Structure 1
Amino acid sequence: MKSTSAHSNASAVELVSLTKNYGDGKPAVDAINLRIAQGSYCCLLGPSGCGKSTTLRMIAGHETVTSGDVLLENRNITNLPAAARGTAMMFQSFALFPHMSALDNVAFSLKMKGVDTATRHQAAGQLLERVSMSHLAQRKPGELSGGQQQRVALARALITEPKVLLLDEPLSALDPFLRIQMRAELRRWQKELKLTFIHVTHSQEEAMALADTMVVMNHGTIEQQGSPHDIYNRPNSEFVARFMGGRNVIAWGGSVITVRSDHMQLHDLSDRLEPGRHALTTCITDIEYQGTHVLVSLQAQDGAHPQTAGAELTVMVSEDRFMSQPFELGQQAKLAWSADAAHHFTAD
């Protein structure tokens, strides 16, 4: 199959009824079906134990498949050893050999294939140059920062020229500032290399920043898949809405709605609302200054809507708006939203 862009319908990886059962009850991965477009960046995300890492390990060949199939460019690789699949794995711990230089770490898989020293060092050197690590080629992992180690781990994964790069929570060991820097670099490398990346993370922010396609998993199944924009703005279940965060889930009018926290407004109880707007009476339980905005937490106390009683809610108020009309802890306030800001779905 020819290489195509991320917007093509061609699949780099296809999972068909993929299942992993450890024999201790409910499957860890339960007959999932997924197509990942060639040249795209796909993030698998969900809470701990949802099956995302197990899925990645089955694609990599590091975990046996109970039933179902893994296809890479229409080739069934389900039972092939990891080295014969055309995939490469970048681990959370980086797993670099501490006694080897960065250059020899990158060249190691070629050494195992019997490639001569000069040839493998030349290939490793080119990859270290690509990830801006040529000047540190002779340093050992213990002499490198976390971000530098990650660049070496990426170069080592790429030296086998994989069709698909698998990344198992690759940013979780880094500090927050470096994490943001490295995810920008991962995205840039993915675009430059035109490779398919499949990235496991528990971070919604990380997935939204990186992914063309997000796959939200829960209890071994896929809850929702789509673009970050679609999943954030149109969650198809209460689980997805709550997991993605930044939203309120409210029992309203005999159904369940979700409204983005930044699409809600905070008013004094005496304020009159414009037509087409809904509101709840709430009590302010927390106020957190976050720079550009103030995050206000509230608890619903609306006698007119008893189904909402006790609901925990949040609203993002711009810094200027909050400073011009500050609210206080324990104060009752009206939390309002327009009807067209609400997204409806069936409760879990």
Structure 2
Amino acid sequence: MSAPLPAFPPVSGWLIRVSEVFGELVEEVIQRTGATASTPLGSEYHLLKGTDFQAIRASDAAQFIRWNLPVHHSWPCNPQKTEGFIEKAAQAMFRKFGHLPLQAILVGQLDPSSPNKYYKTLASNLRGRTLQLFPNVGKIEVEEQDPAALTLFCLVGPEGLFCGVQSLRDSNGFHPGGTRYISQNAPGTISRAGAKIAEALHYLRLHRPLPMTGSHWLELGASPGGMTSELLKRGYRVTAVDRAPLDARLDKTSGLTFLRADVATFQPPQGENYDAFLSDLNGSALESIGYIIRLSSHLRKGGLVVFTLKTSDASSVEAASELHQAVTTRAKAVGLSLFATTHLTYNRQEFTLFLEKTKV
């Protein structure tokens, strides 16, 4: 007879994150989750009442929700003015969560973009003290976490402390708040798109292993080469297609084949197959997925598609959701099945879709 599951503290609400780029649509997003009330927290977070995980995930606004967390414990207060905040907060977390089989404890800021460093330091110190109280939880590297195992997430800010326990996959990210900032200030950086694919590959690990080193990518609309450069750095081979040239710094780079051609008419050599497709094309999303569909016979079974869904023409949650549905339905008809959608730090009014070729 199996042991009973440990009891969780009751859920008092749901914390969701919606990117500031969708600020005009936040009210519509929240309404579609079925929430009966909401409170803004930080710059992108909202505490929802009267809804649950299933309603949030089933909502046609789910793609706008970058990260979510059940709130199992909260302490509304001003940490800067609360004497002994770190010790009191850590002790309370141990009392409520010390019996759970946690793989990690991660603490972040409600407003990570704030120039005020106080809460970044507070988050670090709170995590350190909390880990001292949990004898079976160590300082695991974020990327080494099991996406299906339980993590205790905590967010702090001027509004207080909010925390809960959930798997990384259900929360939609490894870090508190989901995604992490990837700097594009390193010498030799070609464009901000490099950070976009780096973050996409980091996120992908929530759902499946990364393509093996040496895998062959077909990148549509590659110029100037920010994504191309990032893939090459990771040991992948890349066939990059664009009418415009790549940055001169990529000339003669090992593993790169550049084809100066129109994506709309490009046809791979007979017998050429790829392990993954990448599309960050501007313009119509339906047109862009059409190119992927036309070339899908050259994608190996089990192959990956990373596709940027541009929604700049969609003025509402409903319109964006209908576009998402249309794109994924057309892809599924040729054996390209959607397994994840997210909004990345470097995404604007767009989403990154992950699809897998499930049949030949």
TM-score (norm 2): 0.30
Structure with the larger strand share:
1
Looking at CA atoms only, which structure, 1 or 2, has the larger radius of gyration? Answer: 1
TM-score (norm 1): 0.30
Higher RCO by CA contacts (8 Å cutoff, separation 6 or greater): 1
